[in-house]
Structures are given as C-alpha cells and as structure tokens.
Amino acid sequence: MSAAAFIVIAIFTLAGAIAAATMPRLIHAALSLVLAFIGIAAFYFLLGAEFVGLVQIFVYVGAVAVLIVFTILLTRRGQEDTRGFSWGGVVVAIAVFCGLVWAILHTRVSDAAPQIDPLTVKRIGEVLMTNYVWPLQCVGLLLTAALIGALILVAEEKR
Amino acid sequence: MPGEFVDQIFVAAKRWLLSLLPHAPDWVVQIASALLNIILLLGVFATLFALISVLERKILGRIQNRYGPNRVGPFGLLQPVADGIKMLIKEDVVPIRADKVVHFLAPIMMLLPAILALGVIPYGRNMTAFSIDGGILFFFAVGSAAELAVFMAGWGSNNKFSMLGAMRAIAQMVSYELPLLIVVLPVVMIVGSLSPDAIVAAQDGYKWGIVPRWFVLTPWGAAAFILFFVAGLVESNRTPFDVPEGESEIVAGHMTEYSGFKYATFFMAEYFGMFAVSGLAVTLFLGGWHAPIAWLEVVPSYLWFFAKLAVLLFVFIWIRGTLPRTRIDQVMSFAWKFMLPMAFTCVIAAAVWHYQAHGWAGWLSSLGIVAVVYLGLSRLLDTRRKFATRTYRFAE
C-alpha cells in the first residue's frame, strides 16, 4: 500500500519538478513548481508527519507560490517572460546534485526504523516553547524586522 | 433509545453499508468509506448550493421590495434547475489570446480547496468526514490555494480587467488571512488542540445548567466571532467586500472572460467557500452541533449544526442586501489598522480569561480589555471629518 503510494507520489512530484525546470514560460514553470510542492507535502503525510505536511502546503502553496508568481508578474514587461538556456544554471544544478549524492552516501542508514511516538502538534508546540524558545524568538525578531523594513520601503515619504 | 438512534442514523447506515463488504481487504474498506463520505458531502452541499442560490434571490427580492424568482416551479423553487440547464447549454467562450490550459484549470482549482475544506468540519456527533489531528490547520492550508486559483483565472484570461480583479482579490485575501488565522488562535489556545472535534467537545455542557459553554458567549469569543465573520466575508468575496468583481469598475474581475459552466463553477466555489467559512465559525464559536438548551438535546445533532449554518448564511445574504460596496483602500486599511490589532486583543483577552479560571473576574477583565482596545482604536482611526447636515432643496 505505502510502496504503491510512494511510487504514485514520486512520479507526480518529479513530473511537477521537471515541468518547472523545462517549461518555456516562467508562469507555467512557477505553477508546475506548485505541483512539486504538493507532492512533497504528500510525502510528509505518507511518513506520518502530518503537521509538517500541512505547514508545507500552507507556506509553499499559499505564500511562496503567490510570491514567486507576483515577482515574475511585476518584474517583467509584456509577453517576453520566456527564458533561454543558461550554462550557469546547469553548473549550479550539477553542484547541488553532487552535494546531495555525497550527503546521502555518507549517511548511515540503520536497518530497523527507530520506534518513535507519533508526532503530535501538541508535542511540537511544547518543544518549541521549551528547548527551542531562543531560536523561536530570534526568528520572530528577524521576521518583525523584515516586516518593518518592507513597510519602510513602500511607505510614502512625507515632507 | 429512539433519540440516540435518530441522532446516529447516518453513522449506522454507513456502518451497515460497509458491512456489505465482509471479506474485502482493509484498504478496500478504507477507500469505500472515504468514497461514501465524499459522495454524501458533495450531495448535501450541492443541494444546499441549489437551495441557497434561489433563497438568496428570494431574500434579496424581499429586502428590495420586489418578488424574487417565482416563475419556475412552486415559489420559484425549481429555478436552480433552470439555471443549471441554461449554464450547461451556453457557449463556452475562450479568448483567442488566453492561456488555454491555465484558463481551463482555474475554475477547478478554485472549487477544489472549498470542497476539501468542508471535509474537516464536524457535522454531528461522530460525523466528521475527514478527522485529523490538525484539522483547523488543514482548513486554512487548503484554503490558501484559492489565491493561486484566482491568480490563474486573472492571468490565464489575458485581459486587463481580469488581471486587475485578480490583483485586488489576492491583495484582500492575503490581508484578511492574517486576522482570520489570529482570531482562531484564542479558541485553539483555550482548547489546547487543533482538531475541530476536540473544539466542539470543549463547548459541551451548560453553566449553571442553562447557559451553554459556547465560546461566543465569552467577551473574547464574541469579539473573535465578529472578526472571524467579517474576515470570512472578505475571504469568500461577498458584499460589502466584493471589490474584486465590482461590476461598475472592472466588469467582473477575474471572472470577466468566463462563460457558461466555467462561470457557474466559480459561482459554486464562492458558495462552497461561504459554507466552509460559516461551518468553521459554527464549529469554533457557536458550539458546533451542540444544542443551545439542555432539554433540546433530543433533536439530532446534525439538525442543530445545519440550523446554525442556515442562520449564518442568512446573515451573509442580509448583509449583501443591506450594505454598499466599500472602496479597495478602505478594505485594506480596515484589515491592517483595525482587524489585526483587534485580533491580537482577542488572544490576550482569552489568555486573561483562561488564567482567571473561566470565572466572573476573568469574564469582566477580558470584557474590559476588548472594550478599551476597541474604544482606543476607534479614537485613533477617527478621521475627524465633519459632515454638514445634508439639506434637500428640491426633493421633499
């Protein structure tokens, strides 16, 4: 059951990712990337990480995709939003791939899956508020600073 | 007990239907159970959509002092059938410069999240179609996909008005998603769970045997409910916040280039979204499927849910018939300057209420916090514009 689900989701995600990498029009590529995001969320669900999967949909489909699409829309003029082929992109892609392969080969995989309690939202909240409270506060501060910075950038200057 | 039997009749019927597959493997039973839920959900809400579309026109007619639709069937009740046939046989016009695939997918992408969001709402005792731990999060996660669908409709049509409408729609949906989410926070905080079933269970019982423990009856809950309802109006693009499709300015916004059944699908998505937001409001603040008075518990739980849903839908229609459309800048400044601070106030008021053991002192102090912030904000946001009394010289 879960092997079949894995194959179906993998095909779906890869199709979305390949379409995102090869589509000539940028908006189409951005919309295909959304399919890949949904596929990754489905993987999280399959692995039992319900909360992470939901946040993946929430953040990536709801916010990041809209951000990408608007960036494309507001920075290009008219119909010339097509793209060519760039060797720089190929080099970066190969470098990332090699890095990932290196990381995967150097990871020790134990045969038996470790027994862990199901990860509930409650536990994530408790851990965030106890062990990781300082990182959480730092992220909050950073985001607030970013928000205020964005407001200052777009605010009209008063004379 | 007959009351319990009627209450659980749908649950029992489903169990009986599933028992017809005795030797099937586990996954067949799981898929059959999911399919049954989906079919029932779609059936109920498609019927409700048909009913509410004719009721809306009837009520609007009543408010505007005219008859609504009254030609097809008794009291015009068969009007949705006529509308459906009309929409199906209409020509489907696709602009020649439009992006065909994106244009085609947009209405589907719009309807999909609305239907998915309906899945996590508890409709009655043991009647949640898709019961997961993070149900509330699921609701908002799939709901956020609607913004992308609006963008696809606006961009795919390759039309100025469509794109402008989509920009407006996304701007207001993104702005109001924030207060909508933060207003849910106090309920989640008090209950300590993101599951809609747990939230409904927490509102069970009656204080002193008469007053139900619904969250709307606490000061923070009442404020949060009103804020949630307003944000819900915006999220489902209903009047007075229907600037994305303001027909006097930008034709029909992102739906300008849609006709026939695709247009009907957008219409359906809007109503399904309205059902979903009202359903969540009932679940979060109005006690879900619980009865308002103890001895009325004999009435089946799903009837209570749909009665509360009907009241909220009526208010949606009532507001549409009463209020004029706001300007886009008014919509945006209302979100950031009023809704957001009030939403945060609700969180603080709920915390104060909780740490004073849900008693009288907590009730009064949370009322005080909400009232002080409300009065302060209205002071600050007052434009101090003086309006002279209007005089009519010729009209008497």
Whether A58 and B140 lie within 8 Å, measured CB to CB:
yes
Whether A61 contacts chain B with CB within 8 A: yes
Same-domain pairing of A132 and A66: no
pLDDT per residue as tens digits for the range A4-31:
888 988 999 999 988 888 887 788 888 8
CA distance B257 to B92: 10
Residue A87 domain boundaries: 1-105
CA distance B189 to B182: 11
Looking up residue A64, the CATH number of its domain turns out to be 1.20.120.1200
CA distance B230 to B330: 14
Q: Show the tokens assigned to B1.
A: 């007990």
Same-domain pairing of A93 and A61: yes
Specify the 3-state DSSP secondary structure of B362. helix
CA distance B261 to B141: 27
**Cβ–Cβ < 8 Å for B281, B192:** no
Of all residues in chain B, the percent with pLDDT exceeding 70 is: 97
pLDDT per residue as tens digits for the range A74-92:
776 655 555 666 788 889 9
Same-domain pairing of A43 and A91: yes
Specify the 3-state DSSP secondary structure of B206. strand
pLDDT confidence of B18, banded at 50, 70, 90?
confident
Same-domain pairing of A95 and A129: no
- pLDDT on residue A119: 67
Whether A15 contacts chain B with CB within 8 A: no
Same-domain pairing of A16 and A88: yes
Whether B153 contacts chain A with CB within 8 A: no
Which of A73, A121, A126 has the highest number of chain B CBs within 10 A, making it the mutation to test binding with B?
A: A121
Whether A50 contacts chain B with CB within 8 A: yes
Same-domain pairing of A82 and A125: no
Whether B133 contacts chain A with CB within 8 A: yes
Same-domain pairing of A79 and A152: no
Same-domain pairing of A100 and A61: yes
B269 class by beta-carbon count within 10 Å (0-12 exposed, 13-18 middle, 19+ buried)? buried
pLDDT per residue as tens digits for the range B72-129:
878 778 888 888 888 888 888 888 887 888 888 888 888 888 888 888 888 888 777 7
CA distance B296 to A89: 67
Q: Tell me, yes or no, whether A112 lies in a domain.
A: no
Same-domain pairing of A145 and A93: no
Same-domain pairing of A49 and A121: no
Lowest mean pLDDT among A14-18, A80-84, A113-117, B18-22: A80-84
pLDDT confidence of A159, banded at 50, 70, 90?
low
Which CA distances in Å does A53 have to A1, A40, A56, A119, B134?
Answer: 19, 8, 5, 12, 10
Number of domains comprising chain A: 2
Same-domain pairing of A27 and A98: yes
The one-letter amino acid code at A98 reads: C
Q: Tell me, yes or no, whether A157 lies in a domain.
A: yes
The ipTM, to two decimals, is 0.77
Q: Show the tokens assigned to B378.
A: 């209205």
**Cβ–Cβ < 8 Å for A60, A54:** no
Which of A59, A66, A77 has the highest number of chain B CBs within 10 A, making it the mutation to test binding with B?
A: A66
Same-domain pairing of A122 and A78: no
Give the one of B27, B132, B144 whose C-beta lies nearest to A50's C-beta.
B132
Which of B30, B31, B137 has the highest number of chain A CBs within 10 A, making it the mutation to test binding with A?
A: B137
Residue ending a domain, among A105, A134, A150, is A105
Which CA distances in Å does A30 have to A17, B238, B324, B326?
Answer: 10, 29, 37, 33
Whether A23 contacts chain B with CB within 8 A: no
Q: Tell me, yes or no, whether A72 lies in a domain.
A: yes
CA distance A52 to B383: 44
Count CB pairs under 8 A between chains A and B: 60
